[in-house]
Amino acid sequence: MVTFVVQGNGWVGKESGNNPREGYFEFIDGRFELVPSPNQTETDRIIAELHEYHQEINNAYNQAKVDSDEDFDRLAKLLKENMYTWWD
């Protein structure tokens, strides 16, 4: 997850990378630092929504690949069945 949402004076989200941190961040001394949330319930709700959003995006990409593969299969079948009638 690389999405951040504004909450209060900071942002809620999860870093990318090998060891990502998740939670409430504030920009301190030129860096995003994980700090205690002013409203942990709201932070938890936003994080849950971000996880759901990213899962839905992932599912949509997977479905798009399946649909694309099926479209190419149908196109190949149509070409194979009707190739010679196009020349008439």
For residue 50, tell me if it sits in a domain: yes
Q: Is residue 56 part of a domain?
A: yes
For tokens 């504004």, the residue is 6
- In-domain check, residue 13: yes
Q: Evaluate whether residue 12 is within a structural domain.
A: yes
What is the per-residue pLDDT for 29? 93
- Predicted confidence at residue 2, as pLDDT, reads 66
Question: What is the Cα–Cα distance from 69 to 48, expressed in whole angstroms?
Answer: 32
For the beta sheet containing 10-14, the strands, ordered from the edge strand earlier in sequence to the opposite edge, are: 4-7, 10-14, 22-28, 31-34
Please indicate, yes or no, if residue 88 is contained in any of the structural domains. no
Tens of each residue's pLDDT in the chain, 88 residues? 568 999 999 999 988 888 888 999 999 999 989 999 999 999 999 999 999 998 999 999 999 999 999 999 999 888 888 877 766 5
Tell me whether residue 11 is in a domain: yes
